[in-house]
Amino acid sequence: MRPVLILAAFALSACATTETSRRAGPGIDLPPMATFAQVAPTPPRQSNARIGRDFLDLAFKLENGGRLPVFSRFEGPILVEVRGPAPNTLDPDLDRLLSRFRQEAGLNIQRAPSGIAGNIVVEPVNRAQIQRVAPSAACFVRPNVASWQEYRARRNDPGTFWTQLTERRQMAIFLPRDVSPQEVRDCLHEEIAQALGPVNDLYRLNDSIFNDDNFHTVLTGYDMLILRAHYDPALQTGMSEAEVARRLPAILARLNPSGGRGPIGRAIRPPIEWMQAINDATMPRGDRSRRRLAAERAVLLARSSGSPDRLALSYYWLGRLSLTTQPQTAVNAFQAAGQIYDRRPDTAVQAAHVGLQLAAFNLSSGRAETAIDIVDRYLGVTRRSEHAALLSLLLLVKAEAQILQGRPRDSNRTRREALGWARYGFGSDTEVRNRAGEIAAISPRSRAPGGPA
């Protein structure tokens, strides 16, 4: 179940007035939508001992604490069917994803021919329909149903529960058709991958889409290795966790020789108190002041646990939740998170999210050169991670900073590229213009006489 996307954006625009934000955007001429063409996944950096431990937790444990009774996967060719009206970008993004599954994970998977039912059915529905049955989810997958109508009829049928799953024959994915192209694509990646294999999300996975922190939006090289191992001939549906654990070291040594050999690593469980604090902090519809207090508690607990991963994530959320009321606390928290994330190659995407906030803060303070330096540092990793929404915001910050430097031509080129990515990342023209207006509103020029109108 993919959580509702909450992009940090611009609580920083609280530095400016709503009226300025409204006036900055509507007149913008929008270019064609930009899309990603090349795939550049990085290979996993973890040891096979750790990947093996992750594999077992992903394959047998559920996010709600339940467990799968046995190892399960599709046996034989896998057909994917799209049922009902779909957004224009869904088909090309799905075809690109299936190609990656074949090339990177070695899966026998393809689109279902016309008139043939799919093992995995993708059915777009209205976002409001999803919110009524799963308020905290953007999209989800359910076993042993083949349509939205069947899901509604069998919603409380134990035969459709993950905890009852002993083999995979039929999966249905429900995603919203009235959201941005990026949100549709993100749902395709996570939910089809879950239909195929992993059923859990783990906060400790820095370089994976299977993480509730929502930093990664497309499947990584690590994720494709997990899927390749999931469908290795040495495994089969019905095996116990112990049987899988015995075979896994040899599988991973063969598939990922750079990860080394040896037994599966010990289980890594975050402290329950920290998990509760970070879950409270990230609750989408919770009271903001209570969420900020939960983030402060998460920081204290992470400090005492000695885990840099947990500490960085806790600082990031403290920054997010302090922006409108305690901006200096927010900046300090983002700087602390960034110092941790910047030190590790597997948290470069996380560092880019923090970098957006710090670049925006420097823009709002009139430090154009510093803002541009921060943006430029993270453009490469953001492109490689295919996060169009984040990429557009970084570029919009850069465009505003270039204006402050007296470089209107450079700014126009940067803004045009940003708006192309924004059309993919945010969807509607109104939303794109609003985002551009929010960035313009945090620039000092918006507060000067004759600023953007």
Greater confidence (41 vs 129) lies with 129
pLDDT of 371: 98
- Which tokens is 149 given? 């109508």
With a cut of 90, say whether residue 9 has pLDDT above it: no
Measure the CA–CA gap between 90 and 203, rounded to whole angstroms: 28
pLDDT of 27: 59
Measure the CA–CA gap between 300 and 306, rounded to whole angstroms: 10
pLDDT of 278: 93
With a cut of 60, say whether residue 17 has pLDDT above it: no
Q: Average pLDDT in the 33-48 region? A: 86
Q: Find, among 166, 122, 112, the residue nearest to 142 by Cα.
A: 122
CA atoms within 13 A on the CB side of 116: 11
Residue range(s) in the chain whose domain bears CATH number 3.40.390.10: 48-259
With a cut of 80, say whether residue 15 has pLDDT above it: no
* Position 19 confidence tier, pLDDT thresholds 50, 70, 90: very low
Sign of the torsion formed by the C-alpha atoms of 18, 24, 29 and 30: negative
84's CB contacts (< 8 A; 6+ apart) are 123, 124, 125
pLDDT of 286: 76
pLDDT of 445: 83
Condensed to tens digits (0 to 9), the pLDDT of residues 352-377 reads: 999 999 999 999 999 999 999 999 99
pLDDT of 102: 97
CA distances from 339 to 57, 202, 249, 311 (A): 29, 22, 34, 11
* Position 7 confidence tier, pLDDT thresholds 50, 70, 90: very low
Q: Are 80 and 109 contacting, i.e. CB atoms less than 8 angstroms apart?
A: yes
pLDDT of 16: 40
Residue range(s) in the chain whose domain bears CATH number 1.25.40.10: 2-33+269-447
Greater confidence (45 vs 144) lies with 144
27's CB contacts (< 8 A; 6+ apart) are none
Measure the CA–CA gap between 65 and 352, rounded to whole angstroms: 31
Considering the domain 2-33+269-447, what is its CATH architecture? Alpha Horseshoe (1.25)
pTM (predicted TM-score): 0.91
Condensed to tens digits (0 to 9), the pLDDT of residues 155-172 reads: 999 999 999 999 999 999
With a cut of 50, say whether residue 6 has pLDDT above it: no
Q: What percent of the chain has pLDDT over 90?
A: 79
pLDDT of 22: 38
* Position 452 confidence tier, pLDDT thresholds 50, 70, 90: low
pLDDT of 409: 97
pLDDT of 45: 87
Greater confidence (115 vs 450) lies with 115
Q: Any idea which residue has 């906060």 for tokens?
A: 203
- Which tokens is 393 given? 């915001």
Greater confidence (284 vs 407) lies with 407
Condensed to tens digits (0 to 9), the pLDDT of residues 439-449 reads: 999 999 876 66
pLDDT of 262: 82
187, 191, 192, 197: CA torsion to nearest 10: 150
Distance separating the N- and C-terminal Cα atoms of the chain: 41
Q: Are 360 and 390 contacting, i.e. CB atoms less than 8 angstroms apart?
A: no
pLDDT of 24: 42
* Position 217 confidence tier, pLDDT thresholds 50, 70, 90: very high
Q: Average pLDDT in the 46-54 region? A: 94
Q: Provide the CATH number for the domain formed by 48-259 in this structure.
A: 3.40.390.10
- Phi, psi values for residue 53, rounded to 5°: -65, -45
Greater confidence (305 vs 183) lies with 183
Q: Are 82 and 122 contacting, i.e. CB atoms less than 8 angstroms apart?
A: yes
* Position 13 confidence tier, pLDDT thresholds 50, 70, 90: very low
Q: What percent of the chain has pLDDT over 70?
A: 92
With a cut of 60, say whether residue 2 has pLDDT above it: no
Q: Average pLDDT in the 57-83 region? A: 93
Q: Average pLDDT in the 393-422 region? A: 97
* 198-207, 367-376, 417-426: least confidently modelled range: 198-207
Q: Any idea which residue has 């015995």 for tokens?
A: 246
